[in-house]
């Protein structure tokens, strides 16, 4: 059975992602449940760092100027870290990775799309930062790069808000 995909329609264009439900069922399943419920619709990218990543998914980012953007959790709460030894997926360009607070089992609804190879974030690499990959961009990386190129202000927030209009899951 093929992995589900989703179309992410943003104010700068659309991109498609594949969710690794086969390798990361808990993390990808959490994202799919949130996406299918409409949770991500209307939120804004709240953190953009050129040559690193674009971050999204905070419920407080519905207001792109909220000082709380980047601090919110899912109404579903947090999920356990998923580090399957059989699936050592690296934070390569175009991969979706679970954001967290730096504490174990603190992932929730926020995720980021790597725009470069950030292997130091791999859960199996040395160091404290552990971010499991659970999907990848399969079409529209040019749109992700356009988001990455957005001028930013304080806190790496886009000066001109970038909105997620709608996420449509395809199963």
Dist CA 151 CA 111 (whole Å): 20
CB 163 within 8 A of CB 10: yes
Dist CA 159 CA 130 (whole Å): 29
Dist CA 141 CA 143 (whole Å): 5
| Residues known to be catalytic | 47, 52, 55, 100, 112, 121, 131
The Cα angle at residue 93 between residues 124 and 141, in degrees rounded to 5: 150
Tell me which DSSP letter residue 125 carries.
Answer: S
Helix H or strand E encompassing 137: strand 133-139
What is the 3-state composition of the chain as percent helix, strand, coil, each rounded to the nearest 5? Answer: 20, 30, 55
């Amino acid at each position: 059975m093929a992995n589900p995909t989703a179309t992410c329609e943003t104010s700068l264009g659309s991109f498609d992602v594949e969710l690794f439900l086969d390798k990361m069922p808990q993390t990808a399943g959490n994202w799919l449940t949130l996406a299918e419920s409409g949770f991500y619709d209307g939120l804004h990218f709240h953190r953009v760092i050129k040559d690193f990543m674009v971050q999204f998914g905070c419920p407080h980012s519905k207001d792109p100027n909220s000082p709380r953007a980047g601090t919110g959790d899912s109404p579903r709460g947090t999920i356990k870290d998923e580090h399957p030894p059989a699936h050592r997926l690296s934070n390569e360009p175009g991969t979706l990775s679970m954001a967290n607070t730096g504490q174990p089992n603190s992932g929730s609804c926020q995720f980021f799309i790597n725009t470069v190879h950030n292997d130091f974030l791999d859960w199996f690499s040395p160091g404290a930062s552990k971010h499991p990959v659970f999907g990848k961009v399969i079409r529209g990386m040019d749109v992700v790069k356009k988001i990455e190129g957005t001028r930013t202000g304080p806190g790496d927030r886009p000066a001109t808000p970038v909105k997620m209009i709608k996420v449509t899951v395809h199963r």
